[in-house]
Amino acid sequence: MKDKEIICSEKLNQISQQYLNLPFDSTEEDLKIKVVIDMLELLGYSRNLMKFERSDLLKKRTDIYITYKDISIYVEIKRKNHDLTLIDFDQLVSYLNRNGCEWGILTNGDYYYLFNNKLEKIENKVVFIYKLIYEWKHCHNKDNNNRFLKYLHIDNLIKKKSTHYFYYYCLYSSNCKLPIKSLKQYESAIFDFFDYLNENHIICDDTLLSSSRLEEYLDYLAENGLKDNTLLNKGRYISSFIKYLEDKNSRILSSKNFTNYNIENYIEKKDSSYNEIKPITTDEINKLFTYYSKLDDFSYIRNKLLFEFFIYSCPSIETIKEMKMTDITITSDKATISINGFEYTLPENIRKDFIKYKDLRKMKKINCPYVFYVLYNGKYQSMGTVTINNIINVSFSKLDGLSEERKKELGIRNIQKSTILRMIDNGFSLDELYLLTGNSVSSLFKFLDKSTLKERSKSLNRKLLNNKHPYSDVL
């Protein structure tokens, strides 16, 4: 089940209602049976991973003990409406200490406190808090509340280990000495970076906290229309976080990628190199299709179709990820696609390739709503950003007949630039490109270099001189 499906699931609504329906004086056992176990199962912890009322060496019992391979999680349950205090914190931490466990959960059915026992001081061991019955007046916004729910999931807490990044953030936030208002800005940027890593990698270890992954993430944001000043700020916030982890005093990361790292250099390099890159040629596109043709039939058609969509409508990666089979309608003589609420007729080659792709999916019995998908943990889900980048960007690096420098230049951003520039040259207006691509007018301007704007200004000047201005008769 994908993160958004958990957050919006009927099961979560049922659990919430079960909690609300419990009498005020419900016992811990009632809460465990009617709410907490169901909640843990929703988060991927099957019952065969749970042990109940397990005794440790001191014959102290914990409510639920979860084991997955060599990792254990203790879950301590208090009755409904019980105010969780430092006394309860101390009880859970005592279990964790006696049994050498890193993670623990303390809950009263409504609040779910995630503890990491590596953090110092009992009151600082809380990594984050999820609230089942959300109310705006609580300590974090609804987006973060939903985010914390997904990072309680077994996939993220134990399998991918991406939840570990929030433990690192706790270390950073308690030592960075930033004003609360500033820290909120840092937190937002850093948490979004965690989400990006989590969505695009099977294992989220310390190696992903690197300058190359940060710049890959900023490239992704740039492709989705973020301006340079926003990229610069986000880059500074994330760099500050990772630099702290690398600092000799914290000694958390052994790498030293950020010792002399300057995010301004990335912005300058991105802008200067991007404007100098020549648009992709038809010959280079055909070379890519030839490379894809050497793959198996399914990969060939899928990869070719993915690339065709990029050069047809110049969509963002997010648009590609969310594209569904039902967005495309096939008839005997044409195919249409719904983009941003409007329908457009697809070129014949894309129509034929989509029919082949649809037939191959049917043969493979693929039951997934997304056009481009991956199989993860036995479940189909939309294709991630890294996979999309690999299919296109990495594929260019394997083409024959191109210089190594040119291979590095070719990629999704170059495709977007090439498509937009050539469509403008062919008479497409910015409002038409806005409708087709979903990019804002301001983000479309980022694809126009000075030489292109200079030519457009000449055309504008001719229109102004040829009485195209609506009030030319009085000017």
Q: How far apart are CA 285 and CA 274, in angstroms?
A: 19
Instruction: Give the residue with greater pLDDT, 444 vs 422.
Output: 422
Residue 51: how many other CB atoms lie within 10 Å = 13
Contact 127, 166 (CB under 8 A): yes
Q: What percent of the chain has pLDDT over 70?
A: 91
Q: Are residues 193 and 289 in the same domain?
A: no
Q: How far apart are CA 66 and CA 104, in angstroms?
A: 10
Q: Are residues 110 and 132 in the same domain?
A: yes
| Number of structural domains in the chain | 3
What mean pLDDT is predicted for residues 173-185?
A: 87
Q: Are residues 90 and 53 in the same domain?
A: yes
DSSP for residue 241: H
Q: Which residues contact 69 (CB under 8 A, 6 or more apart)?
A: 158
> According to the model, what pLDDT value does residue 177 have?
83
Q: What percent of the chain has pLDDT over 90?
A: 48
Q: Are residues 349 and 207 in the same domain?
A: no
Going by pLDDT thresholds of 50, 70 and 90, the confidence category of residue 137 is: low
pLDDT tens digits, residue range 195-233? 999 988 889 999 999 988 998 899 888 877 677 788 989
Residue at a domain's end among 255, 276, 297: 276
Q: Are residues 49 and 134 in the same domain?
A: yes
Going by pLDDT thresholds of 50, 70 and 90, the confidence category of residue 58 is: low
Residue at a domain's end among 258, 276, 294: 276
Contact 196, 217 (CB under 8 A): yes
Query: Is residue 182 over pLDDT 80?
Result: yes
59-70 burial: b if 16+ Cβ within 10 Å, else e: eeebbbbbeeee
- The CATH number of the domain where 390 resides is what? 1.10.443.10
Q: How far apart are CA 464 and CA 475, in angstroms?
A: 11
> According to the model, what pLDDT value does residue 175 have?
87
Q: Are residues 48 and 69 in the same domain?
A: yes
- The CATH number of the domain where 86 resides is what? 3.90.1570
End-to-end CA distance of the chain: 64
Q: Is residue 383 part of a domain?
A: yes
Q: Are residues 169 and 257 in the same domain?
A: yes
Q: Is residue 469 part of a domain?
A: no
> According to the model, what pLDDT value does residue 7 have?
59
Q: Are residues 288 and 407 in the same domain?
A: yes
Q: Are residues 9 and 98 in the same domain?
A: yes
Range of the domain at 75: 1-159
Instruction: Give the residue with greater pLDDT, 87 vs 437.
Output: 87
Q: Whole-model pTM? A: 0.70
> According to the model, what pLDDT value does residue 138 have?
60
Q: Are residues 119 and 185 in the same domain?
A: no
| Closest alpha carbon to 321 in 378, 367, 386, 377 | 386
Token pair in block for residue 59: 């014959």
Residue at a domain's end among 104, 127, 159: 159
pLDDT tens digits, residue range 454-473? 777 877 777 777 777 677 67
Q: Are residues 260 and 361 in the same domain?
A: no
DSSP per residue, 320-359? HHH-BGGGEEE-SS-EEEEETTEEEEPPHHHHHHHHHHHH
Instruction: Give the residue with greater pLDDT, 50 vs 439.
Output: 50
Q: Is residue 95 part of a domain?
A: yes
